[in-house]
A and B are shown apart, each in its own frame.
Chain A
Amino acid sequence: MPQQISESNMRISHRRGFILYIVITVLLGLAIMAFALNTFKTGAVTQLSRNVDQNRLALLAQSANAEVIAMLKSHVNLNPSSQIFTRFRSVFPTETNPNPTLPFTVDIIPVFEPQTTVQLAKVGYNLKIRSSAVLTVYRRSIYKSMSAYNGYIDIVSKAWREGAGEITMEAHERRDVRLVDLRHTLDKYALFVKNYSNDYNSTSPTPDPNPPDEYDNTIRRMIIEGVNGMGSHDVSRVFIGTDNYPDCADPRKDIFFDLFYPEHKDLKGFTEIFGGNQLASFPFAPETPTSYPVFNRLFYRSKNEFTNLGGVSVNMFIKNKQVMNEYERVINLAADACKVQAGVATEPYMVAGALKDKCGRSIAKLNNPNAYSQMMCQDFYDNADGDDYSACEEFKKLLVTCQQNWIYRWGYTDAASLWKIDLPGRAPRTITLPERYAGLSNISMGSGNYGPYMAEYREQKDGKPYNPERARVGAMQSFYGPDNDIPVLIEGKAYLRFFKLAYLDEFTATVPFVQPAPVNIRVITNTFLRKDKRDDAGSYLLEPLGVNLAPNLFGDSLMKSRAIDTLSANVLWGDKIKCYDGDGQEIEFDPLANPTSVIEKPAQPSGSNVAATRFGRAVDFKNASWNYISAQDFLDERAPGDGKLLYLDGFMYIMAGDLDLSKVTHFQGKGLIYIARGNCKLGSIERLNAKPTSDSLRIYLRQGDFIISSPDDEVFIEASLAALYDDPQGSDDPLQQGSIILNNRKLVKIYGNLLVDSLDLEVSGGSALADGGVLHIIHDPGIYNAAATLDSTELDPYHISIGPVKTSFAYRAGGEES
């Protein structure tokens, strides 16, 4: 029995072990299945989570890039205190690094957390974003005169979720960048005109009916107002060219600026030239009638005895009318005296050969060799040859008397005192007609209605007019500002001009004839005679004297009345002018040191010899920040909306005009508009932002004109205007010359500068200034040197344009943020 129980127990024990084994196995299987299921679910969720994260991170990285771009654009030109502003400008050459080696990179933003994007990101996850921007500069302008660079900026933004650094998303984009320094060598010119203009001596066809001073009536004017350097070496320049000078026989093809006493008397140069600035008149001999008109417009007057002049002899006066007339008068008296003594009737007044015959008849009637009257007649009868009395002994006595008694008087005056410069035709003033003052403007000596000065230069020689341009007298434009207190440096063949009136004064003296007799030699007008006529005329007027008649600075050693036109126009300023030479060295230009020397060519470095004709602004088109096929494209984009506000952005190239900016009233930004061909219409246009501001506008026309097109009579333009034909250069065709068409406006005020091929102020037909109009050019210090500091505002000469489109864009996912 116990054995049976023992066997039974053993069977039960074996069965329990098997069940436990089964249960454990099942539990193990269930555990494996649960673990596998859990792992699978976790992977799917993680994958989904990563996808969401990546999308979100990509969006935020892109947002960060956009924020960086926005920040760059807002700071790069407008916020001088930002490091972005400074770092972009580090591209440009400095004194320590004048030629940076290309390509090079500049870290514009090394590491940066774009806060706006971060704020957006924090709504959900706790994300982290880092951005950076690197500028690569790879190209420089091919022209030395243009400081401009091409580059691109790479912006990289990396975003990741805090705590899950293994998931990162990096967005990279690249944009083109154009960097330009807008300064140019022509900026230093307030006015640059290549071609000859006959309007530099202004006149007015409609004079003021009630002038306070009849000489102060030149209302159609151009006024240049240079920059005020305030003691520095900065001074505005004016270039006056002579290209396309009218075809004429005159070897001198220069520009002459007529001095104008009312405006220039207080300038230092005026005193230097004339030794003072008081007006004077010629003194008269006691017997001169009190009714004789007084010419009181002399800046300098002097006298010298004829014997002291040197270079001329009294024998040069044997054909002089005054001397001959007086001698003929004496001989007629002697002949009449013979007749009276013989008791016969006298004969009429005769001259030359007829007088000789008259003397013969008188001698025959009197027949008394001891009579003084017959002796004089005999001398004339024996020695006179027609109207040549030089062999007559008594005539020689008269000449000796003249030599001993003649006083040569001369004085200097201006054109406005001699001619009616405020009336068409420039007729002589009435006061200048009497013989003392008639050397230039006498209308009764076979010179038409102009006087000898005008007539001589209008005369033909070798089939050409000699030089009618010299006859365009007037009053020079105002180059030293409305108050004559701002210096400018005038370049070009520009000479100051004023005039000399000269005569041999009348005298009464007793001539030791065989019967001494008083004679009165009247005033001998020293008329104007062209210098090239010296050999033909054989006149004392053209014989060089042994003395210099000029008081100072210039030379005058001819007896004739004449124009003094050998002094440089700069002499009028009369003081040293601090400036930079063509190499950029600080110098002091002393116009009085070499007063007859002009600065013929525009300033340029040593060794450079570029004619003014070839001056212009070469631009590298690859540096353009914007290119437009047409002016309309430009306007649509740069002057949107009502078209009254123009947005500038660096060097903007327009292939073809005409560009009509007449509706634009303001501009904002800084830029150069370069138009390859076509005109530019302008009305009043000025900066939008209050001055001082770095905003500036430069318009350059390569083949076109500026056309003032405004309903207003007074136009104000704040810009640098350049119309310099590039192809062809130096053309004599007015249609191929850049100019400004003033369109009959009363006042055109340019706050900038004006650079043109040709400039017409008084052209008839309404294309120039209106009657009494003024072209007033004020050289903007922000154009003269765009890096100026005005009051306490430091201007910025650079402009950086960041392209509106991405030239490259990429994402990079993964990685781990270290």
Chain B
Amino acid sequence: MDNARWMVILSVVVSMMLTLTLLNRYARSQRPETPVVVEETSQAAAPRATEVRRPQVQRSSRGVIPTYHKVSFPKPAAHTFAVDQPKDAEKMKESLKVEGNIIR
């Protein structure tokens, strides 16, 4: 009876070690929580900001007027039909004295 009691205790200890080992292993390989990313592309994989639009100096193209084969214009924005009234000019003159005078 005494021997059997020790065997039971030993098997319980071994089972616990095995379970803990497995849990530890799977817990480490678990992926982190997937974030909600705003941009479609991964920011890490995306080109750096400076690489998005790198200036291309084309000094040889000086004075060249491009010929476009297809030009289309959307309907002009509503504000482009607005015309400043004389009162607007007066208002701007006044604002020029305040906002227009920058103080260093």
Contact = CB atoms under 8 A, between A and B. Distances in A.
Interface string B62-99: 11011011111111111111111110110111011001
Nearest to A691: B66
Nearest to B95: A621
Interface SS of chain B: loop
A627 B102 contact: yes
Interface SS of chain A: loop
Interface in A704-731: 714, 716, 726-727, 729
Nearest to A132: B38
Interface in B27-65: 32-33, 35-40, 42-44, 49-50, 52-53, 55-59, 61-63, 65
A89 B68 CA distance: 26
B92 A614 contact: no
A785 B93 contact: no
Nearest to A684: B62
Contact of B95 (A73, A114, A620): A620
Contacts of B79: 93, 144-147, 181, 183
Contacts of A93: 78-79
A618 interface: yes
Contacts of A668: 55
User: Number of contact residues on B: which range applies?
Assistant: 35 or more
Given A666-B57, A781-B71, A785-B73, A185 B80 contact: yes
Contacts of A787: 73-74, 77
Interface string A150-187: 00000000000010000000000000000001011101
A576 interface: no
Contacts of A688: 55-58
Contact of A726 (B37, B71, B83, B89): B89
A316 interface: no
Interface string A35-76: 000000000000000000000000000000001001101110
B104 interface: yes
Given A71-B43, A112-B37, A621-B95, A79 B52 contact: yes
A584 B75 contact: yes
Nearest to B104: A629
Interface of A: 67, 70-71, 73-75, 78-79, 82-84, 93, 98, 109-116, 118-119, 126, 128, 130, 142-147, 162, 181, 183-185, 187-188, 227-230, 232, 234, 580, 582-584, 602-605, 608, 610, 614-622, 627-629, 645, 653, 655, 665-666, 668, 676, 684, 686, 688-692, 714, 716, 726-727, 729, 749, 751, 778, 781, 784-785, 787-792, 797
Interface of B: 32-33, 35-40, 42-44, 49-50, 52-53, 55-59, 61-63, 65-66, 68-86, 88-89, 91-93, 95-96, 99-102, 104
29 contacts: A71-B49, A78-B52, A83-B38, A93-B79, A98-B78, A109-B38, A112-B35, A116-B43, A143-B91, A145-B83, A183-B77, A185-B80, A185-B81, A185-B83, A188-B80, A230-B70, A234-B73, A604-B81, A610-B84, A610-B85, A615-B83, A620-B92, A714-B63, A716-B63, A727-B93, A784-B73, A788-B71, A789-B74, A792-B70
